[in-house]
Amino acid sequence: MTTMYTNDHEWINIEDHEAATVGITHHAQDALGDVVFVDLPAVGSTFKKGDVAGVVESVKAAADLYMPVSGDVVEVNEALRADPSLANTDPLGNGWFFKVHVADMAEFEQLLDAPAYDLLVKNS
């Protein structure tokens, strides 16, 4: 299992070659506060790296969810749609947003690893 991070505070985790799981980081959910709504992409949608793939709304603000890599959405987390607070209580687990078939593994490899992401958060 390999987890990488974006400058926009999304994480992406590749466990197998089928699909990668995408969500928001602890830092993102801390900054947002209590998440009250998520707008998830439609299964089958195709995105390029950096495209807006969804929206996270909290009691404080709304934030775009950016696609960390190019690819096709193959699954969305219906449990998160039903209970958006999962993004706060378990952002790296049950609070995942969607799964994507990665079109270009080079894009994945260009993302931040855990030490680089920790440094980004520390310096922000």
All domains in the chain, ordered by first residue: 2-103 (2.40.50.100)
pLDDT for 18 equals 73
pTM over 0.75: yes
First to last CA, the chain: 27
Q: Which H or E run includes 24? A: strand 20-24
Task: Give whole-number Cα distances, 102 to 57, 92, 112, 117, in Å.
Answer: 26, 19, 16, 21
Q: What is the pLDDT along the chain (124 residues), one digit of tens a residue?
A: 789 999 999 999 997 777 999 999 999 999 999 999 999 999 999 999 999 999 999 999 999 999 999 999 999 999 999 999 999 999 999 999 999 999 999 999 999 999 999 999 999 8
pLDDT of residue 40: 97
